[in-house]
Every structure is written in C-alpha cells, then in structure tokens.
Amino acid sequence: MSILWKGVFPAYTTKFTANDTLDLPLFEKGLQSQLDAGVDGIVLGGSLGEASTLTTEEKETLVKLAIEIAGPVPVVLNIAEGATKEAIRQAALGKSWGAKGLMLLPPMRYKADSREALTFFKTVAQSTDLPIMIYNNPVDYKIEVTLEMFEQLLECENIQAVKESTRDVSNVTRMINNFGDRYKILCGVDTLAMEELVMGADGWVGGLVTAFPRETVAVYRLVKAGMLDEARAIYRWFMPLLELDIHPKLVQYIKLAEAQVGLGSEYVRAPRLTLVGEERERVLKVINEGIANRPVLPEYMKMAL
C-alpha cells in the first residue's frame, strides 16, 4: 500500500453528545468541511481525538464512517498503546477497517530507552504493510526519536514519514541533510508550521485546522507556491489561535473554537471537563477576535503544487 505524505492532515477531533456518545452527524459535518477546504489526509484517534478514552468499537465506527465520507482522501489511524502486542492488534484492526496508513507513537505510559523504542517501532512496522508515520514528540511523550534511531529505522520500508513535534525547527534540515526525501516530514506543532514548511517540510498535521480548515490549507499552499508574503499575512492573523494547540488543554480549547465556528461542540470525555469561568472567557476572547478579523483568502485551491 502507499500514501502520499504531503499536504494538510487534520488531527481530527472526536465529537461527543451531551450523553457521552459519539455524535456522528456532527463528526460528518466537520469532516466534510475539512474535505471541502482541500485537506490531503485525515488522522483519527490522535491526542486531539481523545484516543485514550475511545473504545475499539468507537474507533471502528469512526474509521469506517470517515472512509465513507473521505473517498480518495486517505484516513490514517493513530496507534498509541502501552503494550507492543496491543499496538500490533490495533494496526491489524485499522487495516481491516480500511485505514490507508498509521501514525505510530512510542510506547505509552513507560519511558522506553532507545533500544526498547526502536524494537517497538520495528515490531509494529513488521506486522503490517500499512504505511507508517512516526510521531516524534519528546516534549509531551518524553521519548525522542533521534537521527541515529531514524537511521536504524531505514530498514522498515513502510516507515515513511515523521510527524515532527520536537519544537526544534532545525530538525527539518537535519532530517533532510541525513536522509534526503526518504522520510517525509510533516510539522506537528501549529505555531511552527510555516517555519518548517519554508525549510522543506512536506506537510502539516494540524490542530486548529479542525476549526479553520480553509486558512490552514491556504497557508500550506501559498508557502509551497512561493507566495510567502501572502502566507505570512494569514499566518500572523492565525498565530493567537494556533497557540491554543500548544496548551495541555488543547482538546478543550480547540473544541471550543470548533463550536464557535459551527463545526463542533464543546463536549469532551471525562476525565477532561469542558471549560468554565475565567479560563473559558479568556480562550473565547482569543477565538472570537480571530473570527471577527478573519482574513479574505486568495483562490488557493487553484494553485498548482
């Protein structure tokens, strides 16, 4: 199997009802807005998708529905498990449901050393023929996938991409210098996306894209078309909103933004709680100011990439 690891891949949120069940109509509405805006792939069951709170049955429902809606746009399932055996099982299930690729985190709930993390990645990769994007996020998950580790992962042909979330923009250059285009690089931190795209990243796994899909895709396409002044203007407007992606409560913050633009609701699954009081008002002020000053976008969909 193959997947084109480039463009904008929303880290799509899971929509819940007030009764803590999947809100499938709202899921479909929000997903259609992403597709209409021109996204290039969909990532389900990630951190922003509240993966750790979803049952296997819920994941199956979401993956199958997303595939039905997305058509040719690839659906990527996130694998974030504590046990290698369970990660292998989830990868097999993802393939049976129709997912076109996997995003693979290092072992969860245990700070593996380099040998253990490499063995985990290789074992999962060797269990499937699905294309894999490694999620490199040492800030949140405490395990860094180093250049030396990526060197050893070259033997796994289906490990094809990295979600680059180290917060070190120069890592894009290091990866390209060491591996050329062997690994596709997708920025995983909203507030560094334009910088990494300018330095050669192939794509953007976005958070605020779920609320502002057209603006996100416009920044990506403008950068790749060399229209940096136009991209900068949108990105500068976007920055206060993008900063909602780098907070421990990014799920609640981004879901509030989705609700404000009519593409989602504030409902989260416990132990998360919806925002209240001063915190909610503060975040809402950022969101509403962004909406009020939303820029007029160029005809980005017509740009050849």
Q: Which residues are catalytic?
A: 135, 163
- Determine the Cα–Cα distance for residues 261 and 251; give it in Å rounded to an integer: 16
**In the numeric block, which tokens belong to residue 305?**
């990439």
- 121: helix, coil or strand? helix
> Which residues are CB-contacts of 168 (< 8 A; sequence separation ≥ 6)?
none
* Cα dist from 170 to 16, 109, 163, 195, whole Å: 38, 28, 14, 10
Is 225:268 a contact under the CB 8 Å cutoff?
no
- Determine the Cα–Cα distance for residues 40 and 135; give it in Å rounded to an integer: 18
Nearest CA to 255 out of 9, 11, 8, 7 is that of 11
- Determine the Cα–Cα distance for residues 150 and 223; give it in Å rounded to an integer: 27
- 182: helix, coil or strand? coil
**In the numeric block, which tokens belong to residue 280?**
């909610």
- 104: phi then psi, degrees, rounded to nearest 5: -115, 120
